[in-house]
Every structure is written in C-alpha cells, then in structure tokens.
Chain A
Amino acid sequence: MSNNKEFEQEIEFLKRTNKGLRYSLEEMSLFQHMAKGISAAKDESSIIGEFISIIKTYWDYKGFVCYDLDFKTLDFVPSYSGVIDSDFIYNNFDVNPSILTWILNEKQISTLPAKSSENSKLSLLLIPLATVTKLLGVLSVVIEADADDLLTMQTLEILNLAAGYVSTSMENSILYGDICNKNIHLEHMRAFTSDILESLNNGIITFNMEREITHINQNAVAMFGITEVNPVNQSYLDVLPPAIAELTHLLFEQTVKDGFVIDYQIDFELSGGIVLPYGVSTSLLRDESNKLLGMTLVARDMTASKELERLRSLDRLKDDFVSTVSHELRSPLATMKAYIDTLMNRVEADDIETRDMFLKTIETEANRLATLVENMLDIASIESGKISLELQYMHVNEIIESVAKLCQVQTVKHKIIIDIADNLPKINLDKDRMTQVMHNIVNNAIKYSPDGGDITIQVKEMKSAIYISVEDNGLGIKEDDLKQLFNKFFRVDSMKTSNIGGTGLGLAIVKKLVELHGGKINITSEYEKGSIFTVILPVQS
C-alpha cells in the first residue's frame, strides 16, 4: 500500500540522515586535528600549506593560487601558487576581480563550476582571506570534482571553519610580524637614546620608585667614581658613594615634593683627592597616564662654569676698579698740580715761607697718592686670588706688641693699652699681613678719636679662636654706615671726619686679609661713644 511505501521511504531517509551524522562526527574530529596545524603555522605560506593539506583529505586537489589584495590599486595580485598558475584559473573558470572582491567583502566561501563542459569535472573553491580588521585576499583552489556534488553542508561547514582558522592564524602572523618589527624599532630607539645619553657630557642616572637604578650613563659612572660593574637594577645605596647616596636620598624627597630640583651644588671628592664642583638637577619620570615612575638625576661638572664665573667677576672688578680708582687718583693729582702751578707762576722765588708751605702740601698729597696706589695694588691682588700667605706658626702677641709700639710713637693724645691673656696658643699667621691688619685697625682707632683717649687692645682665647679686639672712645659709627664699612672706597661722610685722611680701602683690605687667614672681623659701635673692632682667628687643632 502507498502508506507502507511512504513509511519505508521515511525509514530510508532517517537511515541516511543517521549515517550522514555519524560520518560528519568522524570528519569533524579529523578536521579538529588538522586545524591544529593551521593554528601552529607562523607565516602566510605555511598557513596556506596547512589549509591545502586539509583540502587534499577531502577532495582530489589540482592546485591553488593565492590572490593578494593590493590596497592602493584594489587589484588582486597572484602571490603564492602551487601546481597551477593564475592563467589556468582564468582560462577554466568564469572568475573575475569583481567576483574576488565580492567573496572578500561578503566573507563568503563560494564554489564556481568550470567554464566549459569538457572540464566539467573541475571546480574552483574561493576562500576569503580576511582578518577581523583587514581584507587580505582570496585563496582559490582547483579540485577535481563536479561542483554540484562537491559541496555538502558538511564540507561547506568544514571549509568555513578552516577558513576561520586561516583568518585567525593570518591575524596572528601579522600581529607577530608587527611585534617583531616594533621590537626591532624599539631596539633601534633604545640604541639611539642610549647613544645620545652616552654622548652627553653630563652624568645621568634614572631611578624607579623603589630607588633602584634603571639607567646610568658612563659619564655618571666616571663622575661619581662608581666601581660596581652592573649598577642597573640595584639599589642606589649599594652603588653610589656615601656622599652621593645621601644626596640622592635628599633629592628624592625634595623632587617627589616639588617635582624637580635645579642645580643643587655639591663638591665631590674623587678617589685621587681631586675635588670637583657638581651641579645636580633632578626631575620626576612619569608614564603617559601620568603615573609616577621614578626620578632622573643629571649631574654637571661645574669646574668650567665656575672658572668662567670667576673670570667674569674679575672683569666686573676691573671695570669697577678703573672707574672708581680713576676718580680717587685724580683728586690728589689735581691738588698737587694746582699747587705746583701756583708755586711756579705766582710765588716769588724769595718767598721761602710760602714755598715751604706749598711743598709740604704737595708732599702730603704725594704720600696720599702713594698709599692709595699701594692699597689698590693690595686689594687687586687679593681679589684676583694672586696673593698667597706666608704662614708661620707663631704667637699673635709679637704682632700686637710691635703694632702698639709703632702706633704709640705717632700720638701723644692717645694711650694704647695692651691686655693679652696668658698661655695663648700659637696659630698660623702671615706675620707681615697680620701686622698690616692690626696697624690699620689701631691707626683707624687713633684717627677717629680726634680728642684722644685710651685705645685698648685685648687678646684672649675663646671657643678655639683667638679674639683680638681694639676698643676706642672715638667718634663711633652710625648704624647705617656700619653695613658699608668694609666696602671699597666707602668713607664715613660727616663734618667731623672730613679732615681725616684715608683712601677708603683700608678696611676692605683688612677684611680680605682676615678672611684669607680663615678668620672673621666684627664691629660693634656706638655713635659718638666709640667702636670695638674684633678680629677672630681660628686656632688649628
């Protein structure tokens, strides 16, 4: 009966479906195995090679041509091929670039039947090669099978999966290539930056936030006398010499707080005993998201710039000197010239009294000029650093006593009193220069006490220093003038002092000479009561 026949047909159908499903399962597991080959392949040609070997297990493979998409011209250019060539494909199949474009755009696997009936046993599989982001080209594979029977749902499924694997592997291989290229580029950049860092005259060290050294150039190694062979990745404490490690700690704190430090000055003693002035600057290192990465430290040898600075200040000194000095020299000269003119033209040859008076004035002015020139030479040689002390280990008493004696001879109005403590230690002194200092101070005390009085020179030891104070009961100095007292050519300007001679250089010289001895000079003064000048000289242990 027809019902019976239908039933048999249905059973037949189900049997076939069942068989199909079973085969399909086997093929899928076989495919899974082969797909691993595609995944493992690293470059385009081996990926395609693996894919072709899958094709070969399912069909009679004839050959393949891979068409790459040229991004500029949008043409398809044959690249890899196996057994056959592009001509073979174009001769046997109705394929054209627009079909390839369609395949690629739709990401659709397709099969084209042969053009003519004599080759009807040939079919062309077209597989799009595209990654998520890029269209690469089309792989065309010729197989010997009738297109109508060629593709079952199963094989299409497998081809689709395989093409998916190919795309993923292609993407991976492109990314892999990109990473390799980027690494090469990074390596170039690293070498380039490193060359720049090495070619700088400055010492450069970078630290991470754990205070480990992340980079250090050869200059830094030399400047800080670093002996560690591999300082990178080590803590700064283990690598840098103690003075610099201490400085680094300090700078780290300050840099994290302020963001930078500019030209922190430090004198660093290298192993040979050479001391070099360094200027150390730091700044913070951050990544693109502004996260703190560490600190960079740049050390500069300031020897050259210090020398330059010294020459510049000498230059300035010379300019000041010329302008001030020319004025100071001109006034005694003008006085002398006026007197000489008068003497020659106006004073009668027999007026001996007037002549003597004029000649005395000229002598005074000549003396003043001589002193001025001497003082100026003194201060010039001190300031330019040309003077060197001839130190001898001696008692200061000797100098004080001789100065007191010499000065007492010049005055009758004043009484010079000496009060020297017992058992004072010997110190290093340049005898002539210290005599000059004390003579100047005591002489000033006499000059600026026009009404006479006691001048007391007291010498004592306190806190590892010798204190020599010269006290007078003279005019005293106003507070405003005190500040300028040691400036060159400064003279207290008042009715009372206008008659007192001087070059304005004496105290400037005194101060420099005391400082050359490693000492200091202090003044306390009360206007119209008197002044105390105190020279403090260190006692060497």
Chain B
Amino acid sequence: MENEPPKIDLKRIIDSISGLPTLPVVITKVTKLMQNPKVSAAEIAQAISSDQALASKILKIVNSSFYGFPSRIKTITHAIVILGFNSIKATAMSASIFSSFSGEDKDSIFDMEGFWSHSIGVGAASKILAKRLKMKEVEEAFLAGLMHDLGKVILDQYMHKPFSRILDIVKTKKCLISEAEKIVLGGHTHADIGALLVQKWNLNPEFVAIIKDHNAPTSASDYFKITSVVHVADAFIRAMDIGNPGDDLIPKINPGAWNELNINPVSLPQIFKEISEEVKKTEIFFKMTAS
C-alpha cells in the first residue's frame, strides 16, 4: 500500500512563488472599462494603445487571415468597431497570455510546443462548439479553452520536482496526467493551480470556475454550460490527436456535459472538420503573436 499522500496547501505554494507570470496592466484596465456598457470604442482603443507592443500585435492579428477582413484595418478603434469589443478584448488577452508564458525556459521538462498546440486546439474547438450552441460567450469559450491547462505550465516552470514525478507516473502507469497529479499533489491537479493563477490575475469568476472544473464540469454549477463546452472540446482535441496535453489518453466524457451540449452524433464529422479548420486559423494567430 502507498503512503497517505501529504496534505498540501496549494494556495500557499502558489502565493510563495516569486516571478509568477502576470497579465499586463492594460488587460486589467480594458477588462475594467468594459464593465461599463457605455464605454466607447475610442476609450478602449486609447487604453490598449498605452501598450504599444500589444497594440501593434493586435493590429497584426486583426489584419491576418485569422479574421480575414477583406480590407486593411488601420487603427485599434477601427478594429474595435469592425470586429466588435469582445473580439478585440479576447485578442488582447490571448496575445498577452501567450507572450507571458512563451519565454524560453531552459529547465522545462515539458513539450511546450505540444502543450500550446493542445491549448490552441481546445480554444478553437470551444469556440466552434459555443457557436454551434448559439451561445453569447463565443470569445469567452475560446479564452477559457486556451487557458484551461495553464496550471501545467506553472507545474513545469515553478514546481519541477513534483512535475517530473507526475510525468514519470504518467509514463509507467499509462494514466491521465490529472490522475498522476492527484497522487503527487495530495488530491490536487493542474486545474486547481490554473484556477488559483487566473484568480490572482483578477479575471472573471467564470474563467476561474471553468479552469477549475474543466475535468468535472458538473461541479461548475453556475457556469455548467460553458465548462461543458471546454470539457468536451478537450476530449475532442485529444481524440483528434492535436498537440500534447501530457498524456496519450482520452478521458471519458462526462455524461451530464454531453447531454448539455446535445450533439447529434451524425453531425460529428462536420464538427470535427470545422474544428480542424478553426485550429489552423488559430495557429496562424499565435505565430503572429510570437513574432
């Protein structure tokens, strides 16, 4: 019999990590501004433009094939009025998240490229599923999908020792990474770590819940639908063999979540086709952000 796993205060550990990635101030500012429904495009543009690097990345993205707008968009204001407030906010956020974590880490023991491929895939798939379900939160679904496994990066970059044990267990036991995490982290998983991180970033409680419960969507009572979207998108992307989530397995889809999405199995091939097209578009998006 194995020893009783050690009790671990995850929050204390995360709090104690120095140099934990932060979101740029501008994102916090934009998020805050957008709480006011009367905020104008010009005001948001002004806020974004205070971070010139981010502003130019956004302009690159809105003029890329990711949006495919047939005419040149010259200013952030135009980008906002042409593409909408939420699109630009999501673009700004995902560009920021990606650059916060994409720094070279010599100590990394994780296939980071595979990890981002998986994350981009789940973001794109969540977007497609949310669109199909005619949900309002299409951009939120994309962001949540993109961020759902951020906890794994924290493990890789700031908790080397436990993470290498986790990866060993995955290799020997051929189990899901979250099962290995529970053994090593006293019942905790990367989902809990990711949730703590976005909580620290002051993101919407929605994102905290989705990231925390993306493996068990029935726990996300208030955000059950959008959490189910990310949960199913995760399984789809694993099934489609896009990227590397840290293990080779496809977790069982939660029946409650599956029922909530009400997907007709007949339309699955079409959904998979749409997802793989969206994944391609989104990969271009990240190439632009990194350059």
Contact = CB atoms under 8 A, between A and B. Distances in A.
> What band does the interface of chain A fall in when counting residues whose beta carbon is under 8 Å from B?
20 to 34
A345 interface: no
A157 B38 CA distance: 11
Contacts of B69: 99, 102
Given A153-B85, A156-B84, A96 B71 contact: yes
Contact of B81 (A94, A101, A111): A111
A24 B37 CA distance: 7
Interface stretch (B28-36, B104-112, B266-274): B28-36
Interface string B54-96: 0000000000000011110000011011111100000000000
Interface stretch (A15-23, A238-246, A408-416): A15-23
B38 A113 contact: no
Contact of B71 (A94, A152, A157): A94
Contact of A108 (B32, B34, B83): B83
Contact of B36 (A17, A101, A102): A17
Contacts of B83: 108, 110
Contacts of B71: 94, 96, 98-99
A19 B38 CA distance: 9
A447 B81 CA distance: 125
Interface residues of B, number: 23
Nearest to A21: B37
Contacts of B32: 13
Contacts of B38: 16, 19-20, 23-24, 152-154
A17 B77 contact: no
Given A110-B81, A111-B82, A148 B70 contact: no
Interface string B40-53: 11100100000000
Contacts of A17: 35-36
B39 interface: yes
A16 B35 CA distance: 10
A113 B81 CA distance: 9
B68 A102 contact: yes
Contacts of A94: 71
B136 to A, nearest CB: 9
Given A13-B32, A99-B71, A148 B37 contact: no
B36 A20 contact: yes
A108 B42 contact: no
Q: Kindly name the residue among A17, A20, A101 whose own CB sees the greatest number of chain B CB atoms within 10 A.
A: A17
B278 to A, nearest CB: 13
Contacts of A156: 84-85
A20 B39 contact: yes
19 contacts: A16-B36, A17-B36, A20-B37, A20-B39, A94-B71, A102-B68, A110-B82, A111-B82, A112-B82, A147-B41, A147-B81, A148-B41, A150-B40, A152-B37, A152-B38, A152-B40, A153-B38, A153-B85, A154-B38
4 closest pairs, A vs B, by CB? A20-B38, A98-B70, A154-B37, A24-B37
Given A98-B71, A108-B83, 11 more contacts: A16-B36, A23-B37, A94-B71, A109-B84, A148-B81, A151-B40, A153-B36, A153-B38, A153-B39, A154-B38, A156-B85
